[in-house]
Structure 1
Amino acid sequence: MSSERKKPDIQYVNTDTKELVNLLIQGYESIANKRLYPADPLRLFILWVADIMVQQRVLIDYSAKQNIPRFAEGKYLDNLVEFLNNTIKRLPPQAATTRIRYTLSTKRETATVIPKGSRSTVDGKIFFETTKDLVIPIGETAGDIEAVCTVVGEIGNGFLPGQISKIVDFVPYLEKIENLTATAGGADTESDDSLYSRYREALSTYSTAGPEGAYRFYAKTANASIADVKTVSPTPGVAEIRVLMKDGRLPEEETIKAIEKLLSAEDIRPLTDKVVVKAADKVGYKIDISYYGFKHGQLSAEGIEKAAKFAVEKYKAWQSEKMGRDINPSKLNQMLMEEGIKRVEIRQPQFKEVSDTAVAIAESANLINGGVEDE
């Protein structure tokens, strides 16, 4: 759950089992003028009744919370957001796209048609198909066409240029195929946290995209995998949109173009604004630490190593989940100790400020097990 939704909990119905059992037993003893002992069948029956009542109370409490946006989940959040602002919908999953070049073995005296839906693959598991017919003119040996992954979601992202090279649907005289751009743009169904965040930002959209919050809102509607958006104006009349994807990934060119196209629409972009979309700047850092476990602690030697590796991966994810987050070794130390590590010697990283349009991404991690020590 995002930090926006991590707020003090509220409880509509008391779900404390022990308190309910005591209340029921005291009520019975008062009415019947009889003490119930632990093995009394009536006491056991009351325990069963209390269990059913607590389950009902939990469901009632959950149902009540689904009427509050920051607690609502799934379809409850969908309906609540639509009721409060009918312009907002959960973003559906999207398929990754790329541009593929078809190359013929020889020049021909007739045009060659690559039919719409012609498939290619990397490994025989993930397929891409052309979005329309490709006509390679007479005398030419190659043509480029957009292709889309046959499966929606992030699974189609990340294939580098040249990796999609296996032909599935053959055409006469076709010699080879290859993707010219990295596959990008695939996204899973928008998460509850992302939808709630866009709902909060939607108030800015009552104007065109001039306000920073409006640009952020509209940019996020382009792809459900967008994690963070920052808007700056380096020169008058220029709105520079910086984008960061989930898991600290930088957006591919296809995603940048899609966002730029969306934000440049006449009903979104103010007339005097020039919209420029860029990936977040990358600030690299290295992790180099020695860690020590408790000699008589709960973790085994293997457990200490696993805990240290888990904490470092958690820190790397935290550091790269949003732009402008300073490189903070104190946070790394905190996460390691929370996982049961006794103490840590951190040689790298050192504290470093990160600009609002940049993201800190780990380049390497060297973890040295220093053994165990007495408390």
Structure 2
Amino acid sequence: MAEARIESAEEKKKETSLDPDQVKEYCERLFEFRTITIKKFKSWKEKRRHLNEMKRQSRPALPSTTKLITCPIPAEKQDTRSSQKRKEFVLNPIGKSYLCILHEYTQHVLKVQPQYIFKELENAQTPYSATVVINNVEYGIGEGSSKKMAKLEAAKNTLKILLPVLIKVKEQQEEKQQDEDLSFFDEIKIEDPRVAELCNKAALPSPYQILLECLKRNCGMGDTSVQIDKKMLNNQKSEFTMKVGKHTASVTCRNKREGKQRVAQAMLRLLHPHISNWGSLLRLYGDSSTRGFKERKQIPEIQATTSSKTNNQVLENLKTQMRKLQMQKDAIKSKGKLRLENTAIPGSLAQIDLS
């Protein structure tokens, strides 16, 4: 039989009740708590200053590596009606085109709107020309395959005159952006079968194009001719073998298009044993391949005068020349024949057609 206990009413209350810490621990298991700091202000001025500071901190901040360009505003262009005169304008070129930057600069610094003069050229590759006019003064001129491209090129050439430091900043940002794009391929091996598809989606040169550029730049290695042989195997597969000089590479694929790219990757791996990722090859040969394509697009000056004309103009010129030849032929009329007799040789005659 259990013994009876003697306890006071206060002890009984403590035993059957929860203290504040136990209540808090129990509630934290059921609910999510948030700590709120209450700040007291002595005046409304301090409160407004605190609220403005909180709003300023809540605004998104630019990265620490962002390069801003400060443009001084001429004294005659400053707004005299405002109590706070702006003596300079801060320009952020990140993510903006040359056309957008030009309009932003002219509107805030020069207080004018740029105008454009378009012309049509006798050039099949760049049939349009654009000229930027600011305050009745012509600045940059650009050419392009469309009016939009010509306008963009003219804006870039104008910024080279007005803000030459901006061009350097933009070029550095483009190089950095390109390097960040190529960083994705640093984790991909040269023999990876996804390389050709990824390069196609990223608008980068294919493995076979990279191989051709490699052989073009390193012609001193000897015979740089590419020879690809195909051998049929079982299960609808084929073996592709590439020979470049003394190097030979082989891969097994299902179709010719994939085999051409895969065997080019294997050959690049043999030619560059010290390089393991595809990003390094893009940095090594990608830019030069693009520059080589631009150089090949340039035609000699003699051919440019002919190729710049359209087909209709060439036909019209041919017709004009044919008409002139026909008129010259019709203008020639025969005036008879002259017969000469040689007295030294009796009976000999010479006949000349007079025309």
User: Do both proteins adopt the same fold according to a TM-score greater than 0.5, normalized to the shorter chain?
Assistant: no
Q: Which has the larger Rg?
A: 2
Q: TM-score range by the shorter chain?
A: under 0.3
Q: TM-score, normalised by structure 1?
A: 0.19
Structure richer in helix, relative to its length: 2
